Amino acid sequence: MGNLLEVEDLAVEFDTPQGPLRAVRGVSFEVGEAETLAIVGESGSGKSVTAQTLMGLVPLNARVAGGRVAIEGRDVVGLPEREWRELRGERIAMIFQDPLSALNPSLTVGYQIAEMFRRHRGTRRAEARRKAAELMAQVGIPDAERRLDDHPHRFSGGMRQRVMIAMALALDPRLLIADEPTTALDVTVQAQILRLLRQRQQAQRLGMILISHDLGVVARAADRVAVMYAGRVVETGTVAEVYERPAHPYTLGLMRAVPDPRDIGAELEAIEGQPPDLAAPPAGCSFHPRCPFARDVCRTDDPAPRELGPRRASACHFAEEVSPNAGRG
């Protein structure tokens, strides 16, 4: 099975008056068909900038400073905006935490979904409307035909997120990025939306990247996890490997900071100290000022990610010590 998405050594920098701020530093991962990779980390860890870069939406004062991103084998870094507009929606789509900011409040949801078909496929008006109703029914919006003519504010938060998912999936993309898709919703609705995403993913064999700071959501929805800290991926593995045998002190801290990281709502918090200033990160391992395992070498040598098993890695000099069984499946 080939990878739908390959990210290799990606670096993204922001220009600031103090000099370049390295928001993403040498990030690598891949996503296969029907697979969900969760990217977890505190705010400022680089997970959202990574997601934006994958959509060709690098912020204006930032640039890709190195590395490779390939969508279905095609290198996409540096593509002109005209080509990105074709890729977005068709090959890779995104849903956000707040659908209201992504939907146009002055247009009916039916119009907005139908517009995807009209703009990208030249579908005629009546047919596009029929397809929009079909999609809305598929994502579980009751009475879809009638609700086509409602504006976004007439929908509850959960129903709006369903509309957003319908729009994202309209053109049958191969990859979906979900950036905190359930954060604004209550726990019951969160579970419904996660179930829906899983169903659609399996039905369409989608590769999915789930950006989240909620360990419970990740445990429910993901197959694999990449933990980000200070612009780096510091640990990767399956959900079971990372949750049960964390092999990086930062991940270990995250797991210990919450009573049961598998509960929805189990947010990342309470590790002592602050993430580093990325305009002036500390020498050596950027986690060393907060790390209970730190030794002299950590203050001078930045650890590269090291393989501990198949698709299992940790960027810690002492990974085996943190979790003696980290490499075992």
Closest to ligand SF4 by CB, 51 or 291: 291
Please state, in angstroms and rounded to a whole number, the distance separating the CA atoms of residues 256 and 129: 50
- Return the SS3 of 56: coil
- DSSP letters for 219-271: HHH-SEEEEEETTEEEEEEEHHHHHHS--SHHHHHHHHTSS-TTSTT-B----
Q: Closest Cα to residue 24, out of 36, 38, 37, 41?
A: 41
Least Å from the CB of residue 311 to ligand SF4? 20
Please state, in angstroms and rounded to a whole number, the distance separating the CA atoms of residues 72 and 6: 8
Least Å from the CB of residue 61 to ligand SF4? 30
Closest to ligand SF4 by CB, 123 or 314: 314
Q: In what helix (H) or strand (E) does residue 202 lie, and over which residues does it extend?
A: helix 187-204
Q: In what order do the strands lie in the sheet with 312-314?
A: 92-95, 175-179, 207-212, 36-40, 224-229, 232-238, 312-314, 306-309
User: Which residues are bridge partners to 209 per DSSP?
Assistant: 37, 177
Least Å from the CB of residue 231 to ligand SF4? 14
Tokens of 303: 């650890």
Least Å from the CB of residue 325 to ligand SF4? 17
Least Å from the CB of residue 279 to ligand SF4? 20
Closest to ligand SF4 by CB, 155 or 318: 318
Closest to ligand SF4 by CB, 169 or 315: 315
Closest to ligand SF4 by CB, 96 or 318: 318
Tokens of 146: 């009638």
Least Å from the CB of residue 273 to ligand SF4? 12
Closest to ligand SF4 by CB, 41 or 249: 249
Alpha carbon 28 to its chain centroid, in Å, reads 13
Closest to ligand SF4 by CB, 177 or 291: 291
Footprint on residues 206-265 left by ligand SF4 (CB under 6 A): 248-249
80 to 119: interface string for ligand SF4, x by CB under 6 A: ----------------------------------------
Least Å from the CB of residue 300 to ligand SF4? 11
Footprint on residues 267-326 left by ligand SF4 (CB under 6 A): 285, 287-288, 291, 293-294, 298, 303, 316-318
User: Which residues are bridge partners to 100 per DSSP?
Assistant: none
CA dihedral in degrees (166, 167, 170, 172; nearest 10)? -90
Least Å from the CB of residue 295 to ligand SF4? 6
Closest to ligand SF4 by CB, 161 or 251: 251
Please state, in angstroms and rounded to a whole number, the distance separating the CA atoms of residues 120 and 245: 46
Q: Which residues bind ligand SF4 (CB under 6 A)?
A: 248-249, 285, 287-288, 291, 293-294, 298, 303, 316-318
